[in-house]
Each structure stands twice: as structure tokens, then as C-alpha cells.
A and B are shown apart, each in its own frame.
Chain A
Amino acid sequence: MKTTSRPAPPAVTRPSGATPPTRGARPAGRGPHGPLRRKIADQATAYAFLAGGLLCFILFSWYPAVRSVIIAFQKYTPGSDPQWVGTANFTRVFQDPEFTAAWRNTLTFTVLALVIGFAVPFVMALVLNELRHAKAFFRVVVYLPVMIPPVVSALLWKWFYDPGAGLANEVLGFLHLPTSNWTNGADTALVSLVIVATWANMGGTVLIYLAALQGIPGELYEAAELDGASLLQRIRHVTIPQTRFIILMLMLLQIIATMQVFTEPFVITGGGPENSTVTVLYLIYKYAFLYNDFGGASALSVLLLLVLSAFSALYLRLTRTD
């Protein structure tokens, strides 16, 4: 953020003396204590405006952030006094077989979401940018799934994947392709969820890529073409370098977002089959609301927080404009 080190606010001294007082009822700046009183009044006003927002930040951002670290080292069950247990929560959580599964699944999900969720929208944006007609239509259509509530998207795909009534295998059969177990197979469940997430979220990515592509100066393509660069070479040497910053940005955002995946596994697979879709956030939810173990849940949260904050820090560092 910009810190333009301003001198003492001029507003404090200016209205005193000859200029008409700002509020008719209360003459500002009478006698030697005027400016000080005025200053205090100004601060009071400023803090009155800040109060509501500030209180919410204290209660629901700063305090929970500190508290999650504290509870991670406590035995905490609602209703009884918390006890300090040192690192017991962490060791217990580490020994949980689901812990390894959750992290492995989350990381796999993130990597898959990057591969699929990056490549597909990028190619889409690339093609859409070349089209001269019906642009508004494509933009609306590609963003439509983003506006459908995530729970509905998840339920919709759950229905598509259904071995009986589902559409997914019908389509594969129609195309003479082998059918899949989708969410019922331990090896295919996670990929199936990545497909849902990509379908539901790609609209935003496509639109941002589209805007980035429109910022590329046409002369670059012209020059490349004069030099005999083929279509693929133009993509490789002009498009990608020119959009590198946005690509990196979106990748980081996507890592941060996909590592917090919860709705899809919760709604579609319930973590199964064989723990193949339990994610870290899902495990946190289980510890808190199934096992009533808020200490363990907090220990997990702290770990997730550390990993995600590293990515967030990187993101903020890269996007810092001033």
C-alpha cells in the first residue's frame, strides 16, 4: 500500500480563527486548547466510522487466526475447559491414516486441477479470441456454470456420474468408448471431481485470459508472421510470453482455491471410496463436527494455513502494484 507520509492534517488548523466554523453549533478552535480538542474530535469521528468494520475484523479475522494456533496446542471440546497438551494434537493427527490420504488427495487434486483447469481454459480463450462473431454469447455461456451454486453443480454431476441414471456413461457408450466407474472407483473418483471443479469454475479463468489476450499488441503477431513464424510458433513465442504474468497469477490463485476444496467431495463422494477423495478441509470438518475434536481440527487448520499462506504471500508479492 502507498504510504504518502503526509504532514499533520491541515484540516485540523485551517477552520480555526477567521474562517467560519465547520459546524455552526460548535465553534471550533477557541482559545489555546481549541486545536487539540478539534484533533481529538476528528479522531473520535474517524474511529466512529471505523468501529463496525474494525470490530468485525478483530472478531472474525485476527482473533480466529491467533486462536487457531492456540487451540492447536490444547485439548478443546466445547463445554469443558481447554487444557494445554503441547504437540499431542499434531502427533495424533499425523498418525491418522486419513491424514496422509487427505494431503495426498488434496495435492493430487490441485495438480490435476492445474493441468486440466489451466490447459482447457487457456485453449478456449485462445480460440474464442480469434472468433469475430457472437462473442458476447460465448462469454455469457462460458460463465453460466460459475453462477450456478456450487452445491447444484456438485449434485448435477453426481447425477451425471450415476451408474444407473447418469448421462456420463451413456455419452461414452454412444461414442463407443469404454465406460468408467467415475466416482465409484477409488482410482477415478478424484479425477471425476476435478472435472466437476473445472467445469464449474473455468468461466472466470477464460474471461481473464481473454482480457489478457486482447492486451497483446497486434504488431507482435504481424512481425512474427513476417519472420515466417507458424501459428504454433506465434503462440509459443508471442502469446505465451506476453501473458506469462497472468498465467502465473491465475495458477497461484488456482492452487490456493483448489487446496481448499470441500463442496465437491462432501456432496458427491463423501470422501470415498476408500478415502480416495478425503481432502484436508474435509478432514478438518470431520475432526470438528464428527469427532468433536477441535484441537485436532485446529492442528490441521494450522498446517493448511501455513501451506496456503506461503502461496498467498507469493501471490501478493507478485501483484503488489505500488
Chain B
Amino acid sequence: MTQTAPPPVQQPAALTKRPADAPAERSVRTLVSPLALARRRGKATYWSVFALVTVVFVLAFLFPVYWMVTGAMKPPEEVVRTPPTLVPEQWRVTGYTDAWDLMRLPTHLWNTVVQATGAWLLQIVFCTAAAYALSKLRPAFGTVILGGILATLMVPVQALVVPKYLTIADLPLIHVNLLNDPLAIWLPAVANAFNLYLLKRFFDQIPRDVLEAAEIDGAGKLRTLRSIVLPLSRPVLGVVSIFALVAVWQDFLWPLMVFSDTEKQPISVALVQLSQNVPLTVLIGAMVIASIPMVLMFLVFQRHIIAGISAGSTKG
């Protein structure tokens, strides 16, 4: 699946109000009572379950990553050998360096960066402005427009790829072809009802008095947005930014459609297009390199990302 469905609408505040949750949780009673756990048998069961879960998790989720990272380091004949070697007999980095050069990863990584950054920037600028207008500026037909935007949540993105592709191939009225242009990723990314709604909900919570006070002090609408609303909205902007970046980086079908020019393709498309023609070790090296940016981002922002996902369900 190229996209995960949006998590249930979350209260924006929940993200900030959720600190490291260790101490609070420990006192909460769960399925198994603390008393049963304190007994000798309970302890034994607990630790064996704990060990089992650890082993299963490491094997199921960490081992494939290890297998990829080391697979790229094996010589070509070792990686296809049966039975496979758990640890490479010779450690070499040619898998990675060949992938970097042969598959022209710098080009494709750069394309992905350009596409993701542009989509993120445009989404932040236009979605924030639109959400601010809908939340605070009371445009005529504002509720109708918001309704129309929310209605698009009902329309699954993938089911519309064909007419969207035709729109990109020939923009109505101005007849411009945006195929093979980063704008083909950037512009449709702005039409993200979920992120816009998140922002609007957050802006709704900002008291009108604060904005009016700024206005009386002589601040224009843009100034109010920039100096009052945006600084207050840092948490929700963080969530939207992560969603926007991840969505572009992980997408496959849409860039596959709009970038037929190999030079312009993002890494996800290039990987698949080139996967047939390169040695396995090289392909694996490229797979690892393609994963690094997202995994790094996850490791850096994991608390926020995990809190954001968990917050989705707390309303019950």
C-alpha cells in the first residue's frame, strides 16, 4: 500500500500533553493483576513471556533489517548461497558503493528530496493559510468550502489517480503539461483534506480575543498569522510536517505514473525500475540507502510520531 489511511481524527493538544508516559502507566492495572505478577509463578511466567516477545520482535522486525544491511556486504556468490551465512564471511562495502554509482542513487535521492521538500513547503504555506482563513477570517461560503474539503476525505486517493494524471498532463484552461515536473507532486499534495482539517481544528482553539488584540495593535492578517498563530501551532505543524514528508517519501503509484523520465524519478520508482538489471547485492545496497532517511527521521522524532499515532485513539 502506498499510503496508510489517516489515523482517526486526533485532538491536536494530545500530542503536547503526552510526556514520556512511563510513571503514569506503571500504576494502571491491566489484564493481569499486579498481585498475580508478584507471585513466584507469576514472575516466572512474566519473564518467559517477556523473553519470548523480545525474541519474536527481534526476529520479525529487526532481523530483516540486519539481513538487508549485511546482505549488501556479502560478495554476490555468497548472498545467493544455500544455506545462507548469518554473518558475511567477507565484509565489503562494494554493494553500497556500486548501488550509489550504478543505480545513480544521488540523482534519485535528490529528486525525492526536492519532491518531498516542495510538497511539504507548499502544504505548510497553502494549507495553513487556507485553514487560517476558514477558521478565523469567515469567508463567505466558508462552511460550504470546508464541507467540500472534508467530503474529499471520503474519496480514496488511489481511486482518482487516472483523472488526476490527465489533469496533470494537461492543466485545464492554461493547458500546461506538468508530467516529469516536481510540480506534479507538489500541487496535488496541497489538496490534503486531512492535514488541512488538523490545522483548522487547532486554529479553532486559539481564542479570537488574542487575534483581535493583535489586530487592534495594528497587525494585518498575515502578520497575525505569522507572529501569533504559527508560533502557537508548533505541535500541530510538526505533525503535519511529518505526515507530509513521509507521505511523499513512501508514495509509489503516483510518482510511477507522472515520472516516465528516468532522470526525474524518485528513489522508490527508480528502485523498482532498475531492480531487474542489477546484481542482488547492489539492489540490496540501494534498498538500505533508500530506507535510511525515513528510518533516521523516525529514530529522531520517534516520541512525537508514536505519540501522534497513539493519540488518535485516546478519544475512544
Contacts and interface: CB of A to CB of B under 8 A. Distances in A.
B162 A204 contact: no
A257 B31 contact: no
A46 to B, nearest CB: 4
Interface pairs A-B: 5 shortest CB-CB = A218-B29, A53-B130, A46-B139, A64-B163, A49-B133
B152 A57 contact: yes
Given A147-B297, A155-B271, A304-B156, 4 more contacts: A65-B163, A155-B275, A262-B158, A289-B257
B268 A288 contact: no
Given A204-B309, A263-B253, A155 B272 contact: yes
B129 A49 contact: yes
Identify the interface centre among A15, A209, A257: most chain B CB within 10 Å of its CB: A257
Contacts of B250: 149-150
Contact of B5 (A23, A49, A64, A257): A257
A152 interface: yes
B80 interface: yes
Interface in B1-45: 1-5, 7-9, 22, 25-26, 28-33, 37
B205 interface: no
Interface of B: 1-5, 7-9, 22, 25-26, 28-33, 37, 46, 49-50, 53-54, 57-58, 60-62, 64-65, 67-68, 71, 79-84, 122, 125-127, 129-134, 137-140, 142-143, 145-150, 152-167, 169-172, 187-188, 190-191, 193, 196, 212, 215-216, 218, 220-221, 225, 246, 249-250, 252-253, 257, 267-269, 271-272, 275, 280, 283-284, 287, 290-291, 294-295, 297-299, 302, 305-306, 309-316
B33 A50 contact: no
Interface string A41-67: 011011101101110110111111101
A163 to B, nearest CB: 10
Contacts of A63: 163, 167, 172
A9 B136 CA distance: 10
Identify the interface centre among B37, B80, B138: most chain A CB within 10 Å of its CB: B138
B32 to A, nearest CB: 5
Interface residues of A, number: 127
B137 A42 contact: yes
Contact of A260 (B32, B156, B172, B190): B156
Identify the interface centre among B60, B275, B298, B306: most chain A CB within 10 Å of its CB: B306
A24 to B, nearest CB: 7
B142 to A, nearest CB: 8
Contacts of A126: 31
A258 B1 contact: yes
Nearest to B18: A211
A152 B163 CA distance: 28
Given A68-B162, A78-B166, A218 B126 contact: no
A132 B45 CA distance: 13
Contacts of A214: 25, 28
B140 to A, nearest CB: 6
Given A46-B137, A141-B62, A256 B5 contact: yes
Nearest to A158: B275
7 contacts: A59-B172, A64-B163, A127-B49, A150-B268, A159-B280, A231-B31, A253-B5
B8 A319 contact: yes
A103 to B, nearest CB: 14
Contacts of A253: 5, 8
B291 A43 contact: no
A147 B290 CA distance: 11
B25 to A, nearest CB: 7
Nearest to B33: A225
A214 B30 CA distance: 8
A149 B294 contact: yes
Contacts of B9: 319, 321
B155 A65 contact: yes
Contact of A24 (B160, B218, B257): B218
A283 B141 CA distance: 39
A23 B220 contact: yes
B137 A68 contact: no
B25 A308 contact: no
Given A50-B139, A139-B306, A246-B316, A165 B68 contact: no
A84 interface: no
A301 to B, nearest CB: 5
Interface in A170-210: 170, 197, 199-201, 204, 207-210
A56 B1 CA distance: 24
A238 B188 CA distance: 44
B163 A71 contact: yes
A257 B1 contact: yes
A57 B167 contact: no
B305 A215 contact: no
Interface string A65-102: 10110010000001000000000000000000000000
B316 A149 contact: no
Contacts of B306: 139-140, 143, 207
A225 B37 CA distance: 14
Interface in A135-166: 135-136, 138-152, 155-156, 159-160, 164-165
Interface string A292-315: 001001100100110011001100
Contacts of A301: 159-163
A238 B30 CA distance: 11
